[in-house]
Amino acid sequence: RIAVVGSANIDLVVAVDRLPEAGETVLGADVVYRSGGKGANQAVAALRYGAETSLYAAIGRDTFGTQLANALADEGLDVYLRRDDDRPSGVALVVVDGAGANTITVSAGANDTLSSDGLADLGAALPETDALLLQLEIPLETALDAARRAVAHGVTVTLNASPLPSEITEALWELVALTDVLIVNETEARTLRAGGWDWAQRARSLLDRGPDVAVITLGAEGAVAAKRDQVVTQRGIPVDAVDTTGAGDTFCGVFAAEFSRGGDLRRAMAHACAAGAIATTRVGAREGMPSRTAVAAVLTS
Ligand code: ADP
């Protein structure tokens, strides 16, 4: 069983021919509403892959909150939603141009209200939980508290350190030190000052911060993972990518689900990379997220 403590957002997506410059207005296509947020997306990815998955998140009492609650329940997730009276639901304003370039503005809203008091249900579930999966779209203190509780129960903690705050604080390093598996993309690896001549060395350098496993995802190139005595380089699976939104979330959800099954790093990397690649073949973060069977089919073909 996987527990995800993280964000749930409504994404408002508008396609335009050209992204507007500051002060400019451009006309776009009809708005598309999508249920998103890194926490919710990664929970859906783990669930599709076959892991029993619970999501702990906070939403507002607005209509977006109701839409989010319905969408997450429809997925079949075990959801523990705190509904906040004062703050609106989290929203991501996404503008995409014809070439796939985008600008994204996230308003955290109710996600900011997910506090340790909201995690009583998590405490009760931890004895039956194999892995806790965290991202950084919720207050850092809440993520830290969830990680501490998980460690106390011997639950594997996976942290996707995304999005990184503008300032890297001691509290963030403390969270990294508590994690078993750290997953970042290339930009985040640089921000965390991963050093070395190649990505394998940079992944290895992140181990100095305390995790047992450090993974750096490399987009179409695949991903690299380091453990004290092992480096796993997984080449990307060639696909016709139409939308890379959600590839990272798919990777994290599938990695956590697969790695918690037996700790086979090579296998978790192969399955997560295949799943991330498949996710890019459909428009939308969740639309392309594969089942375990679909992942296996790509790996045996
Ligand atoms: P993020 O979106 O968080 O920056 P990445 O772009 O590194 O994450 O993508 C996460 C994973 O998804 C990669 O490690 C890779 O396995 C897969 N992936 C992403 N883009 C592609 C692509 N164009 N082709 C094949 N696989 C991809």
Per annotation, catalytic residue among 84, 121, 249, 264: 249
Supply the Cα-derived Rg of the chain in whole angstroms. 18
Rounded CA separation 251/41 (Å): 10
Instruction: Supply the residue whose CA is at minimum distance from atom 23 of ligand 1.
Output: 220
pTM (predicted TM-score): 0.96
CA 241 to ligand 1 center in whole angstroms: 10
Q: What is the pLDDT of residue 117?
A: 83
pLDDT at 99 over 90: no
The residue whose CB lies within 8 Å of the most ligand 1 atoms, and thus the one to mutate among 187, 251, 255, 295, is 251
Q: Which residue is it, tokens 């460690």?
A: 151
Q: Closest Cα to atom 4, ligand 1: which residue? A: 185
Measured over the CA atoms of residue 276, residue 280, residue 286 and residue 291, the dihedral's sign is negative
Is residue 100 predicted with pLDDT exceeding 80? no
Q: What is the pLDDT of residue 243?
A: 87
**Closest approach atom of ligand 1 to CA 187:** 4
ipTM above 0.95, yes or no: yes
* pLDDT at residue 102 in the model: 85
Domains and CATH numbers, the chain: 2-7+37-85+111-300 (3.40.1190.20)
Token code pair at residue 126: 């931890």
Tokens (6 digits) for 223: 């991903």
Burial zone of 221 (CB within 10 Å; 0-12 exposed, 13-18 middle, 19+ buried):
middle
**Closest residue to atom 7 of ligand 1, CA basis:** 219
Residue 151 CA to residue 181 CA, distance in Å, equals 12
pLDDT, one tens digit per residue, over 265-280 is 999 999 999 999 999 9
Instruction: Say if residue 248 carries a ligand binding annotation.
Output: yes
Does 219 appear as a known binding residue? yes
Q: Which of 159, 190, 244, 282 most suits a substitution to test ligand 1, by most atoms within 8 Å of the C-beta?
A: 244
Q: Are 53 and 4 in contact (CB under 8 A)?
A: yes
Is residue 14 within 8 Å of residue 95, measured between CB atoms?
Answer: yes
Is 72 labelled a binding residue? no
Q: Whose CA is nearest to atom 8 of ligand 1?
A: 248
Let me know if 198 is a catalytic residue: no
Q: How many CB atoms lie under 10 A from the CB of residue 294?
A: 15
> Are the CB atoms for 144 and 157 separated by under 8 Å?
no
CA-closest residue to ligand 1 atom 1: 248
User: pLDDT tens digit string along 55-82?
Assistant: 999 999 999 999 999 999 999 999 999 9
Mean pLDDT of 196-211: 97
Residues with CB under 6 A from ligand 1: 185, 217-220, 222-223, 236-237, 239, 241, 244, 247-248, 251, 273, 276-277, 280
pLDDT digits (tens, 9 = 90+) for 222-234: 999 999 999 999 9
293 is in an annotated binding site: no
> In sequence order, what are the residues at sequence separation of 6 or more whose Cβ sits closer than 8 angstroms to the Cβ of residue 13?
31, 32, 33, 34, 94, 95, 96
247 CA to centre of ligand 1 in angstroms: 5
User: Is 227 annotated as ligand-binding?
Assistant: no
Does the pLDDT at position 159 exceed 80?
A: yes
